[in-house]
Amino acid sequence: MSTSQRNPLLLSARCAGVCYPRQADACLEYFRSFFAHPGGEEGLAPWEPDAEASLPAPRLIVTPHIDFRVSGRAYGHAFAPWVRRPAEADCYVIVGVGHRAGLPWSLDGRDYATPLGTIPTAVPELLGIVAHTQQSGPPLPLGEAAAHVGEHSIEFPLVLLQALRKLRGIDRPFSFIPVLCGGMFPEVAAGLPPAPGSSADRLADALRHLLGTLGPGRKVQVIVSIDGCHIGPRFDHAYRVGPGRLRACAAWEEELWQTVEQGDLAAFFAHLGKDRNARYFDGVGALTLMMKVFGPGLRLRRTHYEQWHTEADASAVTFTSGWAE
């Protein structure tokens, strides 16, 4: 990765005009509907944004990156804590999934243009992360520019964050750092967490350092952008998904998420290794990194779980929303 200066090229929101409106006003109104009620569900009491305003906003949220058209409700649940306690950070670390990445971890220094404006990358902080990883070993391969082009696990939370801040009247500019994570396939196959001193350890240490040293009066928050399992013929499974497989999938994920809530990386990988992640849970790298950054102090709270089952191809994608103090 070239880190000597900001890349003058912008990354542009590829899904605008397809998954959400391209025009700014229409885009903002579209996302407003996600926040009309908790989770966007009718029948639930409206939010009272000022009721908890005196409490610190959660430092981390877990959001899906499923197509917005599938479940605004899931996104509403994910971002709900930052509606009740406004998200006013100066910098956001977005930990996503590298769907086309070949590297385990990938950062990028390009700014990002969406229908709601351009968000700058936090270049000094990004450079600090890279420099910190080099204190404990040779340079890590952290640059894979092509992997960030059109990556919806970054685009979706970024544009929704813009909308939320605008809807809450937060005009202060902010920056972001994108971190794409791989599937940690060797570790999953072995059923063992990364060895001490691994690239995961070094990157987690650099992120932990950033969270603790951003500077006087500045604040950083984290968005973990992951989906869950991907099952059925659409994902090259030989079986068709029906009620029984959906129940089994939910039970499998419940056990996996419990290991995350306990901060137990060994149990996390032991569970994944039982069937080598046969259900293609896509948040392995992102959750590994977060457990290493925060440890048992993560105190994750899940607020929503959903299974998007399409009968036409008998397949399903699952996703979870949550937050941590």
Of all residues in the chain, what percent carry a pLDDT higher than 70?
90
Least trusted range by pLDDT, from 34-38, 105-109, 136-140, 276-280 = 34-38
Indicate the residue type of 98. Answer: G
Which pLDDT belongs to residue 45? 34
Tell me the average pLDDT across 159-167: 95
* Residue 44 scores a pLDDT above 60: no
For residues 288-298, give the mean pLDDT. 92
Confidence of residue 160 (pLDDT cuts 50, 70, 90): very high
- Please give the Cα distance from 313 to 319 (Å, whole number): 19
Confidence of residue 297 (pLDDT cuts 50, 70, 90): confident
Question: Does the pLDDT of residue 183 top 70, yes or no?
Answer: yes
The answer to whether the beta carbons of residues 118 and 112 sit under 8 Å apart is yes
pLDDT over 60 at 228, yes or no: yes
Mean pLDDT of 246-258: 99
Q: How far apart are CA 76 and CA 118, in angstroms?
A: 23
pLDDT at residue 242 in the model:
98
**Average pLDDT over the chain, rounded to whole?**
91
Amino acid of residue 248: A
Average pLDDT in the 28-50 region? 63
Name residues whose C-beta falls within 8 Å of residue 232's C-beta, 6 or more positions apart in sequence.
239, 240, 241, 313, 314, 315, 316
Confidence of residue 52 (pLDDT cuts 50, 70, 90): low
Does pLDDT of 108 surpass 70? yes
Mean predicted confidence (pLDDT) in 6-35:
91
pLDDT grade for 7, boundaries at 50, 70 and 90: very low
pLDDT at 37: 61
**CATH number 3.30.365.10 is the correct assignment for the domain at 11-324:** no
Neighbours of 212 (CB within 10 A): 8
Domain limits of the chain?
11-324
Least confident stretch, 37-51, 93-107, 268-282: 37-51
pLDDT band at residue 72 under the 50/70/90 scheme: very high
* Res. 40 pLDDT band, cuts 50 70 90: very low
Percent of the chain whose pLDDT exceeds 90: 81
Alpha helices in the chain (DSSP H): 24-32, 72-84, 123-133, 145-148, 152-167, 185-190, 199-212, 243-261, 265-273, 284-294
pLDDT the model gives residue 216: 65
- Burial category of 254 from C-beta neighbours within 10 Å (exposed 0-12, middle 13-18, buried 19 and up): exposed
Q: Which of 199, 1, 211 is nearest to 105 (CA)?
A: 199
Q: What is the pTM of this model?
A: 0.93
pLDDT at position 190 over 80: yes
Tell which residue, 291, 256, 260, has the closest CA to residue 275: 256
* Residue keyed to tokens 């003058």: 8
Residue 54 confidence (pLDDT): 57
